[in-house]
Amino acid sequence: MTNAAFDQDVAALRRFNRLYTQRIGVLKPGLHDSRFSLTEARLLYELANRDGLSAGQLCQELGLDAGYVSRMLRGFERDGLLKRRADASDKRRSLLTLTAAGRKAYAPLDAASRNEIGALLKPLGEAGRERLMQAVHGMENLLRLDPAAAATAISLRPHRPGDIGWVISRHGAVYAEEFGWDISFEALVAEIGAGFLKNFDPEREAGWIAEKDGERVGSVFVVQQSRTVAKLRLLLVEPAARGHGLGHRLVATCEAFAREKGYRKMVLWTNANLLDARRIYQRGGYSLVKSEPHHSFGHDLIGEYWEKKL
Q: What is the pLDDT of residues 211-238, one digit of tens each?
A: 987 789 999 999 999 999 999 999 999 9
* Residue 154 in this model has a pLDDT that exceeds 90: no
Query: CB atoms < 10 A from the CB of 44, how many?
Result: 25
Give the per-residue SS3 of 252-278: HHHHHHHHHCCCCEEEEEEECCCHHHH
* E-only strand ranges, the chain: 82-87, 90-98, 154-158, 206-212, 215-224, 229-237, 265-271, 287-296, 299-309
Average pLDDT value for residue range 1-30: 82
Higher pLDDT, 88 or 138: 88
pLDDT of residue 151: 45
Q: What is the pLDDT of residues 231-283, one digit of tens each?
A: 999 999 999 888 888 999 999 999 999 999 999 999 999 999 999 999 999 98
The 3-state DSSP class for residue 144 equals: coil
Average pLDDT, the chain: 89
* Residue 150 in this model has a pLDDT that exceeds 70: no
With a pLDDT cut of 70, the percent of the chain lying above it is 95
In this structure, are strands 265-271 and 206-212 parallel, antiparallel, or unpaired? unpaired
Quote the longest CA-to-CA distance of the chain.
66
Annotate 214-247 with b (16+ C-beta within 10 A) or e (fewer). eebbbbbbbbbeeeeebbbbbbbbbeebeebbbb
pLDDT band at 88 (very low <50, low <70, confident <90, very high): confident
pTM over 0.75: no
Query: CB atoms < 10 A from the CB of 58, how many?
Result: 21
Q: What is the pLDDT of residues 38-80, one digit of tens each?
A: 899 999 999 998 877 888 888 988 889 999 999 999 999 999 9
The 3-state DSSP class for residue 309 equals: strand
pLDDT of residue 145: 55
* Residue 101 in this model has a pLDDT that exceeds 50: yes
With a pLDDT cut of 90, the percent of the chain lying above it is 60
Distance CA 237, CA 284 (A): 16
